Structure 1
Amino acid sequence: MNLVTFSADGKQHWGVTAAGGVLALSPEFPQWNTLRNVIEAGAILRVLKAGQGRPASHPEGSFTYDIPIPDPEKIICVGVNFPDRNAEYKDGQDAPPFMSLFPRFARSFTGHGQPLIRPPESPQLDYEGEIAVIIGKAGRRIPEVEALSHIAALTLCNEGTIRDWVRHAKFNVTQGKNWDRSGSIGPSAVPFTDPAQITDIALETRVNGELRQQDRTGRMLFPVARQIAYISTFTTLVPGDIIVTGTPTGAGARFDPPVWLKPGDTVEVSAEGIGTLRNGVADE
């Protein structure tokens, strides 16, 4: 049973997955407007218990998935975090001693099953399959040995990118990473209970069924615990914050010639124990 945020009949709900659909629990807990509030209250186990053994309130096809945490204070993405990804840049440099980071805004993501949106300003919409961690416990200067205890849940991310716009400035990729609904997060938030859920699991991305990206989290240049420790050095991490942990080699920009996403394509991001995030592509 996982945590979900979804929309039905013009209203957003949160709840849990159930056989054949989802179960809305937000009406039963009006004190918590979103899953971010549930996490802030330390109430994940209470919510899961409330949904245990109950049927779906909304069967598949009667709702649309939203990103699991619709109102995070911040989303921070880690770039160039796999060995082969660093080699893709062909600049002769070793892996950097510190991680590359950039922000994304919640509006730049859509939910599972919804199309990624290609803007009219550029055809260079690309995919990046990643695992995202949702922070459950606030902290500043978190020691690496304690970092994983600050995770509430795991989810998946397609960190969709408008490639030519990441090169508009010398050191800044933010404008290529924040087009409305150019990426996706979901389908659900998987409660985090064991370090084995993230330490060394397989991550894959497929486009129209073709395997494009494949690696394991155990090969990350900067493991998740180090990401949390490093990021929390300069900013306080709070419940509901999302860290997007890095993508393997194989994005469309690295093909010769590049292969961009186009309307009609289907992108699937999968990870062991977390599930599959699936999105089509449509023009704005």
Structure 2
Amino acid sequence: MTRPRLASFHAEGADRYGVMTDRGMIDLWPRFRDRWASLQAVVEQGDLLELADLGEKYPVTYFENEITLLKPLASPEKIICVGVNYPDRNEEYKDGQEAPRFPSLFPRFARSFVAHGQPLVRPTASEQLDYEGEVVIVIGKGGRHIAEADALNHIAALSLCNEGTIRDWVRHAKFNVTQGKNFESSAAMGPWLIPFTDEAQIADIRLTTRVNGEVRQDDRTSRMIFSFRRLINYISTFTKLVPGDVIVTGTPTGAGARLDPPVWLKPGDVVEVEAEGIGILRNGVVDEAAQ
């Protein structure tokens, strides 16, 4: 089953949204901008499935080479990332500890992400730019103290993330990774949103990260330590989730920091994050100094 791919994009001097097909982009912004100014507004109003259904009625407007994809959501209120959420990833720490009882969480800022097709930026402050392929869930229905049994009803869509990390900067402080996770344009999100309809979409999908065509990460969501249901339940205990919030759900083993010796991303590299039923997020790498 092919699910609709709802994307934000730029064409002819304007930021737009529409449905990406194998033939090209169906531009829906001119038809519906009075109702929904952006794809984020569609999510916030709970209308993603309606827009997907409407989009199938119209012809392709642009070929893929005539548009520039943007981040699906320009400015979510919250981007919450999950650390150490696959068993082999926990074992990488070699500290003898069992899987944690509670998820490790940290925030990311919207400005630290670029879109599909845009380059990740290796900063002048460090050469230790690393990759982390992850599945993203987008909240469509807000709430506090959301029960695990009801949690999936709060998901609007799925996407992908390369949660780029500056490794030495996550170790600058004793308990804090925020600075190493928020360098400008060090991560990517996209390429689009896949409307969420049922648990089968995420229960056991393969998540793979490739660098220059070489598989570096490869695991399945069924092996996550903290399920999608549990993450929504836990996070909503301490903060109110609102429509448009993003949860980046954790990366498998195989990041460059854990290779022997470590292998960091460098200018000219191409990173691809792929998940079944969602798509491929692809980004090159450039130096900040060269921009």
Q: TM-score, length-normalised on structure 1?
A: 0.97
2:8 corresponds to which letter in structure 1?
Answer: T
3-state SS of 1:280 partner? strand
Which residue matches 2:104? 100
Tell me how far apart the structure 2 counterparts of residues 220 and 90 of structure 1 sit (CA, whole Å).
18
Unaligned runs of 5+ in 2: none
Give 1:100 deviation, angstroms.
Answer: 0.1
* Deviation string, structure 1 residues 76-95 (Cα, Å, up to 9, x no partner): 00000011101111111111
Which residues of 2 match residues 1-284 of structure 1 at below 5 A? 1-29=4-32, 30-284=34-288
* Deviation string, structure 1 residues 65-86 (Cα, Å, up to 9, x no partner): 1111112110000000011101
3-state SS of 1:199 partner? coil
Tell me how far apart the structure 1 counterparts of residues 31 and 134 of structure 2 sit (CA, whole Å).
33
Q: Given that residues 46 and 156 in structure 2 are in contact (C-alpha distance below 8 angstroms), is that contact kept between their aligned partners in structure 1?
A: no
Q: Given that residues 19 and 56 in structure 1 are in contact (C-alpha distance below 8 angstroms), is that contact kept between their aligned partners in structure 2?
A: no
* Deviation string, structure 1 residues 27-62 (Cα, Å, up to 9, x no partner): 222232222211222222321222114332221111
Q: Given that residues 109 and 184 in structure 1 are in contact (C-alpha distance below 8 angstroms), is that contact kept between their aligned partners in structure 2?
A: yes
Q: CA RMSD in A?
A: 1.1
Tell me how far apart the structure 2 counterparts of residues 193 and 240 of structure 1 sit (CA, whole Å).
16
Q: Given that residues 120 and 283 in structure 1 are in contact (C-alpha distance below 8 angstroms), is that contact kept between their aligned partners in structure 2?
A: yes
Q: Given that residues 140 and 235 in structure 1 are in contact (C-alpha distance below 8 angstroms), is that contact kept between their aligned partners in structure 2?
A: yes
1:83–1:242 CA distance, 2 compared to 1 (3 A) = same
2:210 corresponds to which letter in structure 1?
Answer: R
Tell me how far apart the structure 2 counterparts of residues 24 and 70 of structure 1 sit (CA, whole Å).
18
Tell me how far apart the structure 1 counterparts of residues 244 and 230 of structure 2 sit (CA, whole Å).
19
2:130 corresponds to which letter in structure 1?
Answer: D
Tell me how far apart the structure 2 counterparts of residues 228 and 34 of structure 1 sit (CA, whole Å).
25
3-state SS of 1:27 partner? helix
Q: TM-score, length-normalised on structure 2?
A: 0.95
Tell me how far apart the structure 1 counterparts of residues 196 and 215 of structure 2 sit (CA, whole Å).
27
TM superposition outliers: structure 1 runs of 4+ over 6 Å: none
Q: Given that residues 19 and 55 in structure 1 are in contact (C-alpha distance below 8 angstroms), is that contact kept between their aligned partners in structure 2?
A: no
Using the TM superposition, name which of 214-223 and 41-50 deviates more.
41-50
- Paired positions, count: 284
